[in-house]
Chains A and B, each alone.
Chain A
Amino acid sequence: MQKHHKISDIGKEQPFKVPGNYFKDLPEQIMEQCQEKEQKRSVVELIKPAISLAAMFIGVALIAYLAIQVIDQPEGKNPYRQEDIAEAEYHDQYYNQNELMEDINGGESTQAEQDSEQTDQYIEYLLNEDIDYTTLINELEEDSRKGKNNQ
Chain B
Amino acid sequence: MHDYSDKELLEMFKESDFKNFAFKQIIKKYQERLYWHIRKIVITHEDTDDILQNTFIKVWKGLDQFREDSKLYTWLYRIATNESLTFLKQKKKRHYIPFMDVEHHLMNTLESDEYFSGNQIQLKLQKAILTLPEKQRLVFNMKYFDELKYEDMSKILDTSVGALKASYHHAVKKIEKYLKDN
Task: Give A residues with C-beta under 8 Å from B.
Answer: 3-7, 10, 12-19, 22-23, 26-27, 29-31, 33-35, 37
Contacts and interface: CB of A to CB of B under 8 A. Distances in A.
A12 B23 contact: no
B36 to A, nearest CB: 6
Interface of B: 20, 23-24, 27-28, 31-32, 35-36, 39, 45, 49, 52-53, 56-57, 60-61, 113, 115-119, 121-126, 144-145, 172, 175-176, 179-180
B121 A10 contact: yes
A-B residue pairs, 8 tightest by C-beta: A15-B118, A15-B122, A27-B27, A17-B117, A34-B60, A30-B56, A5-B180, A17-B115
A15 B123 contact: yes
Contacts of A10: 121-122, 125
B25 to A, nearest CB: 9
Nearest to B122: A15
B61 A37 contact: yes
A106 to B, nearest CB: 75
B57 A33 contact: yes
Nearest to B114: A17
